[in-house]
Every structure is written in C-alpha cells, then in structure tokens.
Amino acid sequence: MKCESLALNKYLDKSPNIFFLYGAEVVLRNNSKDILKKHLYKAGFRERKLITKEHFDKIERAIIENSSGSLFGSKLIIDIHHDQGKIPDQIIKIFELDNISNNTNVAIIINSHNEKLNSSTKWVKKMDQHALIVECKKLKSFEEKIWLKNQLGFVDETEMKSFIENIYEMNIGNLVAQQNEVNILKLIYKSGMKASGIFENDSAEFIPFELEDEIVALNTSHALRIIKSIKESEAHYAPLLVWIIGKIINNSTSAKQKSNPQLSLQKTGVWSNKISLYIKFIKIHSLQKLIGLQKKIYELDLTSKGLNKRNFWDDIDNIIIEMTSN
C-alpha cells in the first residue's frame, strides 16, 4: 500500500503496523514519523527501540522476541533509521517473516534517507503487500500552502491566510525554513504574545528576530542593546530569545562538523542572505567553543523556566559576548 505524506492520516486505520518512509523532504519524513508515533501511542504502543545501521543484525531478533507482547502489556515500536544507499538485507528480510503484517504487538517504522524507490524490484513489491509506503517528496507550491495550513492549526482563523502567505513567500521551496517560522509562531502563541505584525520590519514584535543578524555579524554592542530593550519592555520574550540563540549555536555546531558548511546551513533553513555571515561566524569559533555554548544555552533554557536560581539576563548577556568575540 502506498500514499503520499500529506495523505497519511487517511491511511492509518487501513494499514498494518509496518511503515516505510522515504523521499527527499526530511521535514515531511519527520512530520510523518510524528503522526505515526501519535497514532501508535493511542493504540497501546508505549515502548520504543531505536535501531541504527550498526545494529541492523538485531532487527529480526527484536521482532521475534517482542511478538508475544511484554509482561506489562505494553506494545513495542521498532524505529529503524536507514541512511542513503542500498537497502540492506536485514531490512528486506523483515517482509519475509511469517505473519509479519498481522503482528499486533510490534510496530515497525523504517525511516530511509533514500530519495527514490524502485517499485519494480521484488522486495519492494513484497513490502507493498505488508506495509504502508509513505513517499515524502518535494512539494509543489500549492501543496506547500496546504502543508503550512496544517502546521498552523494553532493560530487564529482570521490570521491564518496572512501567516501562510508571509511564511511561504519568504521561504519558497524550503520546508525546513518554513518549519522554523512555524516553531517561532508556536513560541509566540504559547507565551501569550501578540503574533500579528511580526513579519513587518517596523513592528515592535519583530525586534527579537533582529538579534540573529547582530550575533552572526559579531555586533556585540547592537546585540546587547536589543537584549536591554527587550528586558525593559518585553521580558516575556525570554523563551523566544533562548530559541533564537539556540538555533544559531546548533546550526553553527552542525555546519562546523560538515565538509560543506554552506549546504548544511541551507538544509537547516538558514536564509540565503545570511549564509555568508554564518560562514564567517563559524570560522572564528572552534568546535570546542560551540559545543561549550550548547551546554550554556541548555542552562539558560532551564533558567528561563525557573528551574534554577541563576540570573537569566546576566547569563544571556555573557553568552552573547562570548558568541560575538573572537
């Protein structure tokens, strides 16, 4: 059985508990996986076992050992991560096991980075009989807007159209960047902030988003002035500030470890007009320093939630100074 990612919900009740996700759009694969996990949780699948390529030889054993269920009545999700390339025999053999599609105690999610699947091969035809194959391909423009609307279910109906158009126009063809914008909006709504107008440069609600530009441009004084202004008038922005600074640190740490930092930044949704600044930012910071900053932003997040007794505004100033200094 096959379906496209946007239609996944319509197939959940028709499918056996085996799912194969593939395609070029990583955001859709992640979205589809989240949908499957929620669906399976409601069906009693509360345990999860992650299997990566180093342990593919343990797949069959994990399925057989858990087919009768656990002593506590909980069902198991076997989460298999497959990188790009030929599908290994250990995954192909899943579809040769007896009564695999009738197993009610084990669910299998195979998340493959392969962009294409040859439906004429023998094993794919076999899989088609026992699993739901979910294609997560790049979306057409009208499909992107449908996807955005589904992601923005938490916003007011009166603002929905405006948000869809603004997010889409700024990030055409880039679902990672669109997902980042949606995540920002979720933070704003969760914090009870005013969301309308955030895409207008002269809006007071837009001030926190200028912080990213000043940090990656190494403008210490400008970045600190933004923090001071927010502290004095909009202190409820604290969770959003943590998210923005954390995004800079995590994107930079990931790109620092890649052979092609520019491509890494593009994949994480960094806007094209900011990539050159990010590259300079990454070059002046060692990997060790960036990893250290990841630990500090984790502590800052705890502080913003009142889980320790540190001073949030002092700590965020110190982090920004460290990020914008050679």
Counting as low any pLDDT under 50, the low residues of the chain are 201-206
Q: pLDDT tens digit string along 239-287?
A: 888 888 999 999 999 999 999 999 889 888 788 888 999 999 999 999 9
Residue 183 to residue 238: CA distance in whole angstroms: 15
Predicted local distance difference test score (pLDDT) of residue 204: 44
Q: Is the dihedral of CA 41, 45, 46, 50 positive or negative?
A: negative
What pLDDT digit, counting tens, does each position of 5-35 carry? Answer: 999 999 998 888 999 999 989 889 989 999 9
What is the fold of 2-135?
Answer: Rossmann fold (3.40.50)
DSSP labels for 84-144? Answer: SSSPPHHHHGGGGSTTGGG-SSEEEEEEE--S---TTSHHHHHHHHHSEEEE-PPPPHHHH
**Amino acid identity for residue 35 in this structure:** I
- Helices marked H in the chain: 26-42, 59-66, 89-92, 122-130, 141-151, 157-170, 175-190, 207-216, 220-233, 238-256, 261-267, 275-284, 287-304, 312-323
Q: Where are the domains of the chain?
A: 2-135, 144-323
Both tokens of residue 162? 């405006």
According to the model, what pLDDT value does residue 66 have? 84
Give the Å distances, CA to CA, from 154 to 146, 148, 151, 187, 318. 15, 11, 8, 11, 34
Q: Mean pLDDT in the chain?
A: 86
CATH of the domain spanning 144-323 = 1.20.272.10
How high is the pLDDT of residue 325?
A: 84
Structure tokens at 106: 């084990």
Tell me the whole-structure pTM to 2 decimals. Answer: 0.66
Residue with tokens 């540190």, as numbered in its chain: 310
pLDDT of residue 205: 46
